[in-house]
């Protein structure tokens, strides 16, 4: 068997493809950004065809860079921005509208109505989630009610719903396969994570036709084979996972108690809780971890989502024009010894966990006559760490309440984890080591590892755990009372951001 794996990593702002060898080393990588569409304040959309075209182009580029033919790939793994919602015609494959992105907040009035109808407990009991525009269900309902004729088409079985993984799989297989995996299904607000099946009561309550939905498979399983013309030969797709569960898997987070934080457009902190579902009492959600199938028990995780993480750096670049490129932010932030009392709360699309305040708006607190762009840049960077620290504190309290131990180290990945200033500040706030792996592309690595398991390239997770290696450990240096003072200042700023 050939020993190379191709990971398709479809993210919020770009599509990437990475070729890994059997030892988890990167052999080639290609990336293309695509448009972010903002029709109205609070609305975020993507062009589904642009997602597909950029993903296919990067797959071809990565294979060419690696000097590999399709026949030399063992399998393909897909990982994707989660919750982003697409509807397309089954007969033509044509999208009926732009994709509604996970960040989009247009469906808050609908979510409010569902909460007022008393559906919150039913949603949490079945799905582990809270009712929020973040998840796919309200986006599906909005498209059905606002695209002319869509609901009638859906009820006739003429439309297909998918998160981005399903859309890519449909395209890769020439429309032969309409499927998703457990992790992506668990983000729709329609999937019973204990039964491992779509929830008929929720579908009825939310008025979403069952005929729209894809088949759900284990994350490591055979989903289908690509159309030979796309990559020069048919390649099996044997792994799919939503980006955050894929990152947890790529960080060798296979056992209860292991936690990772991905610093991407948003920040996503997941802690594996094993085969036992754990319910948070501190504002976190319960979600499905990657499922290996083959009789293996279902796996769960606690998750907290920060809506604006690395995107705050894009705001510094594109909104404030404080920097010309994202790579300049560390130097600008380090040009001052501290943030000078400035606190940035980047609630541009509301606040996610553990606050769940969709009405919150962004705020800059603590400005004085002496505040400069450098102070704001440092405060913006620190906001990523503050939000993540609030999540980890909630996660540790949940773990202790369940009879476990607080998180003892945090594994990190994603684009912003290369920023040493941010990682050190994160360790200082948390009071535990922050560990950066040698391969920071853990989302793509997780998809590749799942594909490798799904096609039989790897015997099991022990083999994958042995491959994981740390590149640097950031140890806390800030006294705990100082860290507590900084967190208290952050919480005061959050209260101002959510004030009416």
Chain segment 154-207, per-residue pLDDT in tens: 999 999 999 999 999 999 999 999 999 999 999 999 999 999 999 999 999 999
> Can you name the residues that pair with 6 across neighbouring β-strands?
19, 76
Chain segment 203-256, per-residue pLDDT in tens: 999 999 999 999 999 999 999 999 999 999 999 999 999 999 999 999 998 888
Nearest alpha-carbon partner for 284 in 358, 192, 354, 350: 354
**Radius of gyration of the chain, Cα coordinates, nearest whole angstrom:** 22
Is 487 exposed, middle or buried, given 0-12, 13-18 or 19+ CB atoms closer than 10 A? middle
Give the global pTM. 0.86
Copy the structure tokens of residue 95.
């999208």
Question: In degrees, to the nearest 5, what angle opens at C-alpha 298 toward C-alphas 295 and 303?
Answer: 160
Cα gap 198→465, rounded to integer Å: 32
| C-beta of residue 384 within 8 angstroms of C-beta of residue 415 | no
- Spatial CB neighbours of 446, under 8 Å, sequence gap ≥ 6: 77, 79, 241, 245, 246, 247, 248, 249, 250, 251, 290
Cα gap 380→88, rounded to integer Å: 38
SS3 87: strand
- pLDDT by residue, tens only, the chain of 500 residues: 578 999 999 998 899 999 999 999 999 999 999 999 999 988 999 999 999 999 999 999 999 999 999 999 999 999 999 999 999 999 999 999 999 999 898 999 999 999 999 999 999 999 999 898 989 999 999 999 999 999 999 999 999 999 999 999 999 999 999 999 999 999 999 999 999 999 999 999 999 999 999 999 999 999 999 999 999 999 999 999 999 999 999 999 888 888 999 888 888 899 888 888 888 888 888 899 999 888 888 899 999 888 888 788 888 888 878 888 777 788 888 899 988 899 999 988 788 778 878 788 888 999 999 999 899 988 998 999 999 999 888 888 888 887 777 788 899 998 888 888 889 999 999 999 999 999 888 999 999 999 999 999 998 888 998 889 999 999 999 999 999 999 999 999 988 888 76
Cα gap 104→184, rounded to integer Å: 18
Cα gap 150→374, rounded to integer Å: 49
Which DSSP string do the residues of 390-450 spell out, in sequence order?
HHHHHHHHHHHHTT------EEEESGGGG-HHHHHHHHHHHTS-EEEES---HHHHHHHHH
């Amino acid at each position: 068997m050939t020993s190379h794996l191709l990971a398709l990593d479809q993210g919020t702002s770009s599509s990437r493809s990475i070729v890994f060898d059997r030892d988890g080393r990167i052999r080639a990588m290609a990336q293309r950004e695509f448009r972010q569409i903002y029709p109205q304040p609070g609305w975020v959309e993507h062009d589904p065809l642009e997602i597909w075209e950029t993903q296919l182009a990067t797959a071809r580029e990565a294979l060419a860079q690696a000097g590999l033919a399709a026949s030399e790939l063992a399998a393909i793994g897909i990982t994707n921005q989660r919750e982003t919602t697409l509807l397309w015609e089954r007969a033509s494959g044509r999208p009926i509208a732009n994709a509604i992105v996970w960040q989009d907040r247009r469906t808050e009035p609908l979510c409010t109505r569902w909460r007022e109808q008393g559906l919150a407990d039913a949603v949490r009991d079945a799905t582990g989630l809270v009712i929020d525009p973040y998840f796919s269900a309200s986006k599906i309902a909005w498209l059905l009610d606002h695209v002319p004729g869509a609901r009638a088409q859906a009820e006739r079985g003429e439309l297909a719903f998918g998160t981005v993984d399903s859309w890519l799989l449909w395209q890769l297989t020439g429309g032969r396969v309409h499927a998703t995996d457990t992790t992506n299904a668990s983000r729709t607000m329609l999937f019973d994570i204990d039964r491992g099946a779509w929830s008929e009561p929720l579908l009825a309550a939310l008025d979403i036709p069952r005929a729209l939905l894809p088949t759900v498979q284990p994350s490591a399983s055979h989903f289908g084979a690509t159309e030979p013309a796309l990559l020069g030969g048919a390649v099996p797709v044997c792994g799919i996972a939503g980006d955050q569960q894929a990152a947890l898997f790529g960080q060798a987070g296979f056992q209860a108690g292991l936690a990772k934080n991905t610093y991407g457009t948003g920040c996503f902190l997941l802690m594996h809780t094993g085969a036992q579902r754990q319910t948070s009492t501190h504002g976190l959600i319960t979600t499905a971890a990657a499922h290996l199938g083959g009789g293996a028990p279902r796996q769960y995780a606690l998750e907290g989502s920060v809506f604006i993480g690395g995107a705050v750096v894009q705001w510094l670049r594109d909104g404030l024009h404080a920097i010309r490129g994202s790579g300049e932010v560390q130097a600008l932030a380090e040009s001052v010894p501290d943030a000078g009392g400035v606190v940035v709360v980047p609630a541009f699309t509301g606040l996610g966990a553990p606050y769940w305040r969709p009405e919150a708006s962004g705020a800059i607190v603590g400005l004085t006559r002496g505040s400069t762009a450098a102070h704001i840049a440092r405060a913006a960077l620190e906001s990523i760490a503050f939000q993540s620290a609030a999540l980890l504190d909630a996660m540790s309290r949940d773990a202790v309440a369940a009879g476990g131990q607080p998180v003892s180290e945090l594994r990190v990945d994603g684009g912003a984890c290369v920023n040493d200033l941010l990682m050190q500040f994160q360790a200082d706030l948390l009071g535990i080591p922050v560990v950066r792996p040698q391969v920071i592309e853990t989302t793509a690595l997780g998809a590749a590892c799942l594909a490798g398991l799904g096609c039989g390239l790897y015997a099991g997770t022990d083999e994958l755990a042995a491959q994981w290696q740390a590149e640097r450990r950031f140890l806390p240096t800030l006294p705990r009372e100082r860290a507590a003072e900084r967190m208290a200042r952050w919480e005061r700023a959050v209260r101002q951001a959510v004030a009416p």
